[in-house]
Structure 1
Amino acid sequence: MEATGGLVSTPKALPYFVALSQILGLTVVAVTGAWLGLYRGGLAWESSLQFNVHPLCMVIGMVFLQGDALLVYRVFRNETKRTTKILHGLLHIFALIIALVGLVAVFDYHSKMNYADLYSLHSWCGLLIFILYFAQEEVQ
């Protein structure tokens, strides 16, 4: 990409790819919410439905918002570096907080139900991903 007049040129197909990514991301969030609402009984913190908070928070935080944070530098190429850094950081912070709520929900649910924690490959891989994500955030 060549800089012209202080502005960085944007690939012509980029807006279409970004729009597609947003449509797919929102669809995944909506389908997860519908699945939890229609087939798993909904969401609640102080009941057996607390577990359902976990998948929704993970999809919103670790998939949708984290993906959007990564796209910021491509989508807002002609904005000031400070503006894009702030937006990038805010999206990562929101992603981290929402994913943390999802982790707290699942560990708290397991504690209330007297279930063992970290008994599956899914839980170990998920915890490793969250730790690596958090460590990356601290380094940046």
Structure 2
Amino acid sequence: MESQASMAPTPRALPYYVAFSQLLGLTVVAMTGAWLGLYRGGIAWESALQFNVHPLCMVIGLVFLQGDALLVYRVFRNEAKRTTKILHGLLHVFAFIIALVGLVAVFDYHRKKGYPDLYSLHSWCGILVFVLYLVQWLVGFSFFLFPGAS
């Protein structure tokens, strides 16, 4: 039996909202890249610029790709559920991997420079966000593997 939410008609303005959200997300990614390139010297892994990988990866992974993963079920309402589940899962996997690269970059940078880890409120809040995202990701993945559990 289908739920009421899946039978509800698509709002007429939804494509405009989605287009606006994509434009806004790409603008944030581009502005972060421009900020890192113009004012922070760019990004590189094996140099002092390794720290700059962190903000770019976090914006791409935890803001843009995660937001796109959340929109999949609204945008592709008429597609097969299996297809949308796979796309939703892939976007979350990419978001997780990119965010993990950003996390590794900042910890590796601190280790190379001899800076202490987790010394600010920003770092503790960031770890909390990442841990909660990981828990949510693992629970969601388990329900994806065992759909009868839901």
- Give 1:8 shift: 5.5
Name the aligned partner's letter for residue 59 of structure 1.
V
How many residues were matched structurally?
A: 137
Q: Distance in 2 between matches of 1:124 and 1:112?
A: 20
Q: Distance in 2 between matches of 1:68 and 1:8?
A: 21
Matches within 5 A, 1:50-69: 50-69=50-69
What residue in structure 2 maps to residue 113 of structure 1?
Answer: 113
Matches within 5 A, 1:20-59: 20-59=20-59
8 A contact 1:44–1:53 mirrored in 2: yes
Give CA-to-partner distance per residue, 1:8-59, whole Å, 9 cap, x none.
5210010000000000000000000000000000000000000000000000
Give CA-to-partner distance per residue, 1:66-103, whole Å, 9 cap, x none.
00000000000000000000000000000000000000
- Give 1:7 shift: 7.0
CA RMSD of aligned residues (A): 1.5
**Structure 1 or 2: more helix by fraction:** 2
Q: TM-score, normalised by structure 1?
A: 0.95
Structure 1 stretches of 4+ moved >4 Å: none
8 A contact 1:45–1:53 mirrored in 2: yes
Quick one: percent identity of the two aligned structures?
A: 79
Name the aligned partner's letter for residue 129 of structure 1.
V
What residue in structure 2 maps to residue 75 of structure 1?
Answer: 75
- Give 1:134 shift: 0.6
Q: Confirm or deny that 1:137 pairs with 2:144.
A: no
8 A contact 1:43–1:49 mirrored in 2: yes
